[in-house]
């Protein structure tokens, strides 16, 4: 997929653990981990808003479009 999740980099910059972020935004650690590893197929705006608020950042600090990334297989596209 051409969307890359840069949550690890932002957590490192903010010196925050994934567990701490999960607690702050009320999301389960497994669900946040799926997002962090780039395996999520979607994200709710409310979740993105909560992450950006907790990390004091913009959505573009967390998500990046990488056109050189391989496309998702046809059966995985929405």
Q: Which two tokens stand for residue 74?
A: 């046809």
- What confidence tens digit (pLDDT) does each residue in 23-78 have? 999 999 999 999 999 899 999 999 999 999 999 999 999 999 988 876 665 555 44
The secondary structure element, H or E, covering residue 65 is strand 63-65
- Report domain extents, the chain: 3-76
49: left (phi over 0), alpha (psi -120 to 50) or beta: alpha
Look up tokens 């990334």; give the residue: 69
| CATH topology classification for 3-76 | 434 Repressor (Amino-terminal Domain) (1.10.260)
29 contacts 35 by C-beta, under 8 angstroms: no
Q: What's the pLDDT at 73?
A: 57
Q: Which two tokens stand for residue 75?
A: 């059966």
């Amino acid at each position: 997929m051409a969307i890359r999740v840069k949550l690890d980099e932002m957590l490192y910059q903010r010196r925050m653990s994934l567990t701490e972020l999960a607690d702050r935004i009320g999301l389960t650690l497994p669900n946040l981990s799926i997002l962090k590893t780039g395996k999520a197929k979607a994200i709710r705006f409310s979740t993105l808003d909560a992450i950006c608020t907790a990390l004091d950042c913009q959505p573009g600090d967390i998500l990046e479009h990488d056109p050189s990334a391989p496309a998702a297989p046809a059966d995985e596209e929405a």
